[in-house]
Amino acid sequence: MASSLKKRFSEPGLIVAPGVFEMVSLRLADQFGFDALYMTGFGTVASYLGLPDAGIATYTDMVNRVSAMAGMAKTPLIADGDTGYGGLLNVHHTVRGYEAAGAAAIQLEDQEFPKKCGHTPGRRVIPKEDMVQKIKVAVEARHNNDFMIIARTDARTNLGLDEALRRAEAYANAGADILFVESPESLEEMRKIGETFNLPLVANMVEKGKTPILSRQELESLGFKLVIFPVTALLASVKAMTGVYEAFKQQGSSKDIQSSLSDFGELTKLMGFESVWEFDQKHQS
């Protein structure tokens, strides 16, 4: 998986990686033939623990989800590794663990621990030199050079774009494969990011977040190589489920909302019941 994703980065065109947050979304997105899937920290913590993405989830929580998702997916999985869950030794352990779990790439950020979601207030970053050391350790820790290290900086919001760019350059020099300047706040800022670096760049599309939502063509023209949509499917799911629960509360029935639901038979196929039925038929006594 890692080698196929790295090869894709050397080819032309924007890589679209939709967010997946639990196993149903993983199985569904895996059917569409994307170049990569993005295991969102926000969505995974929300669906797995029912908690905010605020440094509460542990390495063990997250590597278990990486293992489950990467183990089932046919599509390369890019996994959110937060801050590496601690200091340099933790980063080393995290990179080794995510790689062994089957991820094709890990994203590491320069926030203080405990971290916060990138489009929420109150984020603070560690000294640039400390993150440089983390990136160097991450590069050293991986067994396979095809396993890519994504270096994210959250400096833009509190320290300004120029500091974010300086940090991204330092992380590139430390050996990061892909750069992620989080939450630029205008088209002009995104253009400046694209003009500054030669390494592949990540665009993070969070609906109603800090960054403008752009088209594929716009992102490509600005110089971005990878676009992630971490919470779009989760937002759609929550809206759809809210409508269902409102109908139950108001009507006590699903009778009037059936046309808006996915087909139950299609869901059984998605979840692999056909292989169960085939097994049962083969082994009937």
- 264-281 pLDDT, tens digit each: 999 999 999 999 999 999
pTM for the whole structure: 0.94
Reading the block at residue 61, the tokens are 């929580």
Look at residue 266 and tell me if it is in a domain.
Answer: no
pLDDT band at 1 (very low <50, low <70, confident <90, very high): confident
Rounded mean pLDDT of 98-126? 87
Look at residue 284 and tell me if it is in a domain.
Answer: no
Q: What share of the chain is helix, strand, coil (3-state, %, to 5)?
A: 50, 15, 35
Q: How far is CA 89 from CA 110, 174, 284, in A?
A: 15, 17, 53
Q: Which amino acid is at 174?
A: A
Q: Does 121 have pLDDT greater than 80?
A: no
Q: What does the pLDDT read at residue 118?
A: 61
Q: Does 210 have pLDDT greater than 80?
A: yes
Look at residue 269 and tell me if it is in a domain.
Answer: no
DSSP state of 227: E
pLDDT band at 58 (very low <50, low <70, confident <90, very high): very high
Query: What proportion of the chain, given as a percentage, has pLDDT over 70?
Result: 97
Q: What does the pLDDT read at residue 119?
A: 64
Look at residue 262 and tell me if it is in a domain.
Answer: no
Tell me the Ramachandran region of residue 78: left when phi exceeds 0, alpha when psi lies from -120 to 50, beta otherwise.
beta
CATH of the domain at 120: 3.20.20.60
Separation CA 280–CA 274 (nearest Å) = 10
Higher pLDDT, 116 or 151: 151
Rounded mean pLDDT of 226-230? 98
Q: Does 83 have pLDDT greater than 70?
A: yes
Write out the residue range of the structural domain in which residue 191 sits.
Answer: 2-237
Rounded mean pLDDT of 141-148? 98
Rounded mean pLDDT of 11-40? 98
Least confident among 6-20, 109-123, 193-207, 215-229? 109-123
Reading the block at residue 243, the tokens are 């409508």
- Total structural domains within the chain: 1
Query: What proportion of the chain, given as a percentage, has pLDDT over 90?
Result: 93
Q: How many residues does the chain have?
A: 285
Look at residue 248 and tell me if it is in a domain.
Answer: no
**Sheet with 178-181: strands ordered across:** 178-181, 148-153, 105-109, 77-80, 37-39, 15-20, 226-229, 202-204
Q: Does 2 have pLDDT greater than 90?
A: no
Q: What does the pLDDT read at residue 29?
A: 98
pLDDT band at 114 (very low <50, low <70, confident <90, very high): confident
Q: Does 120 have pLDDT greater than 70?
A: no
Q: Does 22 have pLDDT greater than 70?
A: yes
Look at residue 285 and tell me if it is in a domain.
Answer: no
Rounded mean pLDDT of 50-78? 96
Look at residue 192 and tell me if it is in a domain.
Answer: yes
- 251-263 pLDDT, tens digit each: 999 999 998 999 9
Reading the block at residue 280, the tokens are 């049962």
Look at residue 242 and tell me if it is in a domain.
Answer: no
Hey, what's the torsion of the CAs at 217, 218, 221, 222, to 10 degrees?
-150
Q: What is the mean pLDDT of the chain?
A: 95
**211 contact partners, CB below 8 Å, separation of at least 6:** 119, 183, 184, 185, 190, 203, 204, 205
What number of helices (H) and strands (E) belong to the chain?
13, 8
